[in-house]
Structure 1
Amino acid sequence: MAAAAAAAAAANLGEDQFLCSICLEVFTDPVSTPCGHNFCKNCISTHWDNSVLFKCPLCNEVFNTRPQMKINTMISEMAAQFRCQEKPVSEKPGEVLCDVCTGTKVKAVKSCLVCVASYCETHLEHHLTAPRLRRHQLIDPVENLEDRMCTKHDKLLELFCKTDQTCVCLVCPALDHRDHQFVPLKEEYEEKKVELKTTGAEVQKMIQERRVKIEEIRGAVKVSQDEADREMAAGVQVFTALKESVDRGLNQFIKEVEDKKTAAEKQAEDVIRELEEEISELKKKSTEVEKLSLSEDHLHLLQNYPSLKEAPPTKDWTEVRVCPPSYEGTVVRAVDHLEETLRQQ
């Protein structure tokens, strides 16, 4: 039932639904990330092996720990069904399929260089029995037979022209490559194989050098991050202390100004209160004087006159001043003190 459901689902979906976004091939052992995206198990494992962070290559969601990946059975079955629908393949890599078979392809046993086709054991029978076909050149099955034939002479490419660095047939030396140097394909193959081995070693060396450089750069980034963290911590500590010093300096400045203002106000209030008390005494004296001056009793006026003829004792206010306090230099002194504190810290 599951296989049938997978086949039905695969039939309704396009190729893009079954492609791994890393290798761009149909899924092999597909696994799902916690964010819901699918990749080949080997692709995502290799991707995370070479990454600092464990994040999804599609949506970039970062995972705190490396997720434990399990094969998505449903996607795996659908991908397998899709492969079967798209292209019949042999069970073993490198096997060539018969070009004549319809439906399910059967493994080819020979390729014909004349017919430029590959045949299974059943369809090869005519080449083994028919007189005309028995003259055809048969070889072990190979893919892309057209690429093995000379496009000019329809002959098998069996030689290598070292002068033109190209594969040629047995007719080419006499017609198109006169006076050129030729060697059998196998000889050139062995030579090129040695060269490829050397090239492969050089490439691997280059890969290793670049991996070392990557680790070197990552190390430099780590050192930079560590230094940045230390500098950040030191900076926060220093600027926090500076801020506290500034706050203390501001509070001291405000207190000094407030104290001066409060002292000036208190002095003024004391003087005003004393003046108001004298005014009150003088008003009482004025009332008594006015009252006595209006009296028609001769005896009463003369008897009280000595006590009222002189003004009551008062303070000489001529030189009394209430000067506002000087705030000049308060800010400068506060800033100077703050600068000294900051310099010490």
Structure 2
Amino acid sequence: MAEAAGLLDQDQLSCAICLDLLKDPVTIPCGHSYCMGCIKDCWDQNDHTGVYSCPQCRQTFTPRPVLYKNIMFTEVVEKLKKTGLQAAPPAHCYAGPGDVACDFCTGRKLKAVKSCLMCQVSFCETHLQPHYESPAFKKHKLVQATGNLQEKICSHHDKPLEVYCRTDQQCICYLCTMDEHKGHDTVSAAAESTEKQKQLGETQRKFQQRIQEREKELQDLRQAVQSLTRSAQAAVEDSERIFTELIHSFERRRSEVKELIRDQEKAAVSRAERLLERLEQEIAELRRRDAELEQLSHTEDHIHFLQSCQSVCAPPGPGDLPSITVNPHLSFEAVRKSVSQLKERLEDVCKGELDTISQTVKEVHILEPQTREDFLQYSWTSIELNTQTETCPQPAPLIGTELPMWRYRKKKQNKDPWEANQKTSELI
């Protein structure tokens, strides 16, 4: 059996899953061997699919193969354990980039686990055993594997830096305490490290406290920004609604002005049409009588002429129609002028209000708190836009017009912000 163990490559005795020496080795149908526990755990994860595969060659098996202990591998592994041989170290035990390599390994070096300050050498687990077993190495100082061993050795005495000089605030060896650091305040490096660790813990606690405070302040500030955003959105929506109502109000007033002009036009035209009709009737009557006179003037019967002349030759009467005066420059220029003046006044009012609103919006800004109290005070500040209402000055009445007059009044609940005082009159 020893010969069989020698003939086997050590990689064949390692589990490809745990990278350790095979434990209860089993061989699956494709020929690869694993620890029974490793391959069972691997296949348990595929129970929901019902398809099982080899972790190395990926050959699939259906149904799940029954696992039997490999008797030969079991005996070989047991023999290796008795003779002190071990399987090849797993790949993760070799030193890689950034790792401290064992100084005693030849060929591919293993990762070092300890460094000796006396020997100034780093050791892997195997080469470190003499430091644990031999009395000659009992006084050697072992530290965690490090690649900068020279920094832990005194440059003057080539001794480990085991003492800390508080006077000069530097690490020294025990010979330095008898030389240039004689009489200085010195303690062991371990004691000073313990003290510094306490200070470090206190400093770290303060940092963590400061982090918590800043995180709370950050949260408060974010809430303030969200509050500002919500308030701004509400102000935008209210402004949109108010301006929409204002536009609708202007549309109604425009329709009213238009209707008023049309009504005045209709009334004047209707009156003129009635006069036209009466004038046409009178003209027709005059033309009829003129024709009779023309016919009578050509008659040669003296008796007939004299009998008809008295009734036909009567001059026309003044009539019932009133005197008609036609204005050749009749127009609605006064109306256009009044509306133009109204437009200018409203633009002035809107410009003044817009400047006021713009100034109010500029005053809404995020302060930069300096203390915790400032943050708390700020975070509870309710930011509301347009909380003050400025009363717009009332425009003076338009002179020389009888169109509807507009005036602005302060908005009240469920009231139209604009109202009109209308004076009706005839335009013609």
Structure 2 counterpart SS, 1:167: strand
Aligned length in residues: 253
Structure 2 length normalisation: TM-score?
0.48
In 2, distance between residues paired with 1:115 and 1:180? Answer: 29
Structure 2 partner of 1:120 = 124
In 1, distance between residues paired with 2:107 and 2:247? Answer: 83
Contact in 2 for aligned 1:261/1:325 (Cα 8 Å): no
Q: Indicate the structure (1 or 2) with the bigger Cα radius of gyration.
A: 2
Structure 1 partner of 2:142 = 139
Which AA in structure 2 matches 1:143?
T
Structure 2 partner of 1:292 = 296
In 2, distance between residues paired with 1:198 and 1:175? Answer: 35
Structure 2 residue 284 is the aligned partner of structure 1 residue 280: yes
Structure 2 partner of 1:200 = 204
Q: 1:135 to 1:274 in 2, by over 3 A?
A: same
Q: 1:119 to 1:298 in 2, by over 3 A?
A: same
In 2, distance between residues paired with 1:341 and 1:202? Answer: 57
In 2, distance between residues paired with 1:143 and 1:255? Answer: 98
Query: Shift of the alpha carbon at 1:255?
Result: 0.9
Q: Which runs of 5 or more structure 2 residues have no equivalent in the other structure?
A: 1-91, 343-397, 417-428
Spell out, residue by residue over 1:116-175, the C-alpha distance to the aligned partner (whole angstroms, 9 max, x if none): 4412255569999xxxx9899562442232332345554422221212222223344455
Structure 2 residue 270 is the aligned partner of structure 1 residue 266: yes
Structure 2 partner of 1:190 = 194
| Residue among 220, 224, 246 paired with 2:250 | 246
| Residue among 334, 339, 342 paired with 2:408 | 339
Query: Shift of the alpha carbon at 1:210?
Result: 1.3
Q: 1:247 to 1:139 in 2, by over 3 A?
A: same
Q: 1:100 to 1:219 in 2, by over 3 A?
A: same
Structure 1 length normalisation: TM-score?
0.58
Higher mean displacement: 325-334 or 249-258: 325-334
In 2, distance between residues paired with 1:284 and 1:341? Answer: 69
Spell out, residue by residue over 1:282-309, the C-alpha distance to the aligned partner (whole angstroms, 9 max, x if none): 2233233233323444344333322321
In 1, distance between residues paired with 2:103 and 2:296? Answer: 150
Which AA in structure 1 matches 2:271?
Q
Query: Shift of the alpha carbon at 1:195?
Result: 0.6
Contact in 2 for aligned 1:98/1:105 (Cα 8 Å): yes
Spell out, residue by residue over 1:184-227, the C-alpha distance to the aligned partner (whole angstroms, 9 max, x if none): 10010111011111111111111111122122223323333443
Query: Shift of the alpha carbon at 1:335?
Result: 6.5
| Residue among 192, 196, 221 paired with 1:217 | 221
Alignment of 1:35-184 (within 5 A): 88=96, 96-99=100-103, 101=105, 105-113=109-117, 116-121=120-125, 139-144=142-147, 145-151=149-155, 153-184=157-188
Contact in 2 for aligned 1:113/1:136 (Cα 8 Å): no
Contact in 1 for aligned 2:113/2:145 (Cα 8 Å): no
Contact in 1 for aligned 2:257/2:404 (Cα 8 Å): no
Query: Shift of the alpha carbon at 1:338?
Result: 5.4
C-alpha RMSD of matched pairs (Å): 4.1
Query: Percent sequence identity over matched residues?
Result: 33
Q: 1:154 to 1:314 in 2, by over 3 A?
A: farther
Which AA in structure 1 matches 2:324?
V
Q: 1:281 to 1:127 in 2, by over 3 A?
A: same
More helix by share: 1
Which AA in structure 2 matches 1:166?
Q
Higher mean displacement: 231-240 or 244-253: 231-240
In 2, distance between residues paired with 1:138 and 1:236? Answer: 80
